[in-house]
Amino acid sequence: MHEIGVRETVQFAGLTFNWETLVMTWITMAIVVLIAFLASRSLKLVPTGAQNVVEMLIVWLREQVQNNLGPRGDFLTPLIVTLFLFLVISNWLGLVPQMVSPTNDLNTTLGLALLMVLIVHVLGIYMKGMHYIKHFFQPVAPFVVINAIEEVAKPITLSFRLFGNIMAGEILIIILLKLVPIWMPIPSVIWLAFSIFIGGVQAFIFTSLSLAYLANAVKESEE
Amino acid sequence: MIDINATLVAQMLNFLILVVILRLVAYKPIVRMLKEREDRIAGSIKKADDDAAEAEAVLNDYKAQLATARTKAQAIMDKAEKRARDEHTAKLQETNVEINQLKEAAQQQIQRERSQAVEQLKGQMVALSMAAAHKIVSKNMDAAENEALISEFIDQLDKDKIGDLPC
């Protein structure tokens, strides 16, 4: 029986890894690459099937990127598309029996959130230079404390929101299956459907918040 | 449940690898294809506009040509009509002239014939007068008798005069 919150770990080069999370992440990556491969295997000017779906997703996310970051942020679209696809597939993977979501591990969500914040700051300094650093001391110098708290809060809220949602969803599925007799599947099915919805919504929230943070660093200040 | 370990770094790397793969496998070709499609649609729309403009130009050209042809045809018809009328008038005049000539010729002929007839009559008259004179001389009559004879002769002349020509 799967015990909640206890993780199999492996030691490698003196470091501890959550084995299950890594395997599930690789499965997710494989699924995402497969979808991308199927969608772009035979690209046609008049799209059909899988190409339609992935194309729609890319066009939609590209629009989001352009609305938030302006034309200068176009090079970040692959990152955003990947982030969304990875998160959606991760969140939904846990709904398949015998599988768990990579996003039910704080290591995954915090890793992604930190990566995003890191990209934000690096891009901010790269694209705006001193102007970007100066904005932490706006409107007056003492505000640097509040701004610092905000910057620290960003990855924490981002990661814990996703982690909490997915973890709670999976826990509730296990609990429902234990509480309700097997001939009464309606609560589990409803919760499963709701989890599918939550998985999509959380992926979208994570993606749009990342976009909003990126906008802060990339978008031109006069805009 | 919340234990942060090296998995965090591994997940960052995993995600970055995924970004690179997706960018290569899907994103670039799809965006290129989207651009291609955009260009194609823009090209099609432009071509349709150009075609419509060209069609309109051709139509206008044809209309102009048609109008010119119509004007030309009208001009040709007018010219032909005018020529026919002129010819008609000329023929009429010619005929009139001919008729007049013929009339004149006929009149001349009539005149000639009449004078000829008068001449002939005169000749006959002389001959008759001679005959009458001879009769008178041969009879040797007096003046009264002579006069009676002549008047009788002239009466006779009047009686069987030829036509009603004045003598």
CA distance A196 to B115: 142
Q: Which of A198-202, B47-51, B144-148 has the lowest mean pLDDT?
A: B144-148
DSSP code at position A149: H
Peptide bond into A139 cis (omega under 30): yes
Identify whether A86 is part of a domain.
yes
Predicted pLDDT at A58: 84
Question: Is residue A4 in some structural domain?
Answer: no
A-B C-beta contacts closer than 8 Å: 115
Q: According to the model, what pLDDT value does residue A5 have?
A: 60
Residue A182 has pLDDT above 90, yes or no: no
Which residues in chain A are closer than 8 Å to B40, comparing Cβ atoms?
Answer: 45
Average pLDDT over residues B61-73: 95
Please determine, for residue A2, whether its predicted confidence score (pLDDT) is greater than 60.
no
- From residue A107, alpha-carbon distances to A104, A113, A194 in Å are 9, 10, 24
Residue B58: the pLDDT is 95
Contact B1/A at CB under 8 A = yes
Would A1 be classed as within a structural domain? no
Which pair of tokens denotes residue A23?
């395997």
- A3 part of a folded domain: no
Say which amino acid occupies B51.
Answer: D
For residue A75, pLDDT over 90 is answered with no
Of the listed ranges A34-48, A105-119, B14-28, B65-79, the least confidently predicted one is: A34-48
Of A9, A78, A110, the CB nearest to B19: A78
Q: Tell me the per-residue pLDDT of A9-40, one tens digit each, with 9 for 90 and over.
A: 777 777 777 888 888 889 989 998 888 888 77
Per the listing, tokens 């979208």 go with A204
What number of other Cβ atoms are within 10 A of residue A99's Cβ? 16
Facing residues of A9 across strands? Answer: A18
pLDDT(A162) > 60:
yes
Q: Residue A164 is part of which domain span?
A: 9-218
Q: Is residue A88 part of a domain?
A: yes
Question: CA A163 → CA A6, A18, A99, A158, distances in Å?
Answer: 15, 15, 16, 9
Best residue in B9, B22, B34, B41 for a mutation probing chain A (most A CBs within 10 Å): B22
Query: Are the beta carbons of B12 and A55 separated by less than 8 Å?
Result: no
Chain A CB contacts of B18 below 8 Å = 29, 32-33, 82, 86
Residue B85 has pLDDT above 80, yes or no: yes
A1 pLDDT band, cuts 50/70/90, is: very low
In sequence order, the β-bridge partners of residue A16 are: A11
Q: Range with the lowest mean pLDDT among A55-64, B124-133, B151-160?
A: B151-160
Query: What's the rounded mean pLDDT across residues A72-95?
Result: 86
Residue A207 predicted with pLDDT over 70: yes
Cα–Cα distance between A213 and A119 in angstroms, integer? 10
Q: Which helix (H) or strand (E) holds A202?
A: helix A186-218
Give dist(CA A34, CA A45) in Å, integer. Answer: 21
Q: Which tokens sit at A9?
A: 């770990």
Q: Which of B8, B21, B33 sits opposite A107 (nearest CB)?
A: B8
pLDDT surpasses 50 at A112: yes
B27 interfaces chain A, CB cutoff of 8 Å: yes
Q: Is residue A2 part of a domain?
A: no
AA letter at B14: N
Predicted confidence band of residue A221 (pLDDT cuts 50, 70, 90) = low
Chain B contact set for A26 (CB, 8 A): 14
First to last CA, chain A: 55
* 8 Å CB contact between A212 and A65: no
User: pLDDT class for A223, splitting at 50, 70, 90?
Assistant: very low
Residue with structure tokens 């004045």? B166
Task: Please state which of the ranges A122-126, A176-180, A192-196, B138-142 shows the lowest mean pLDDT.
Answer: B138-142
* DSSP secondary structure of A157-193: HHHHHHHHHHHHHHHHHHHHHHHS-TT--HHHHHHHH
Comparing CB atoms, the residue among B15, B26, B31 nearest residue A36 is B26
Contact A65, A73 (CB under 8 A): yes
CA distance A43 to A155: 37
Contact list, B25 vs chain A (CB under 8 Å): 33, 36-37, 40
In this predicted structure, the answer to whether residue A169 has a pLDDT above a threshold of 50 is yes
Determine, yes or no, domain membership for A31.
Answer: yes
In a domain, residue A135? The reply is yes
B7, B12, B23: residue with CB nearest A17: B7
CA-closest candidate to residue A77, choices B16, B33, B38, B28: B28
Residue of A nearest to B34 (CA): A45
In the structure encoding, which two tokens stand for residue A188, read together? 């589990």
Q: Search chain A and give the residue with CA nearest B17.
A: A29
The Cα–Cα gap between A155 and B113 comes to: 147
Domains: count for chain A = 1
Q: What is the predicted pLDDT for the residue at A137?
A: 80
Instruction: Retrieve residue A17's tokens.
Output: 């890894």
All residues of chain A having their beta carbon less than 8 Å from the beta carbon of residue B14 are 22, 25-26, 29
Structure confidence at residue A64 (pLDDT)? 85
d(CA B44, CA B47): 5
> What was the ipTM of the complex prediction?
0.82
Q: Where are the beta strands (DSSP E) in A14-108?
A: 15-18
Say if residue B146's pLDDT is above 80.
no
φ/ψ of A11, rounded to 5, equals -105, 130
pLDDT category at B141 given cuts 50, 70, 90 is low
pLDDT in tens, B93-132: 999 999 999 999 999 999 999 999 998 988 888 888 888 8
Residue A67: pLDDT band by 50, 70, 90 thresholds? Answer: confident
Q: Between B84 and A97, name the one with better pLDDT.
A: B84
Q: What is the mean pLDDT of residues A116-145?
A: 83
Q: Are A104 and A94 contacting, i.e. CB atoms less than 8 angstroms apart? A: yes
B6 vs A21: CB contact, 8 Å cut-off? Answer: no
Count other Cβ atoms within 10 Å, centred on residue A143: 13
Chain-chain contact of B22 with A115 (C-beta, under 8 angstroms) = no
> Looking at per-residue confidence, does B18 or A55 come out higher?
B18
- pLDDT-derived band at A6 (thresholds 50, 70, 90) equals low
Which pLDDT does position B144 carry in this prediction? Answer: 76
Residues of A in contact with B17 (CB under 8 A): 29
Q: Is the pLDDT of residue B63 over 80?
A: yes
∠ Cα A218 A220 A222 (to 5°) = 155
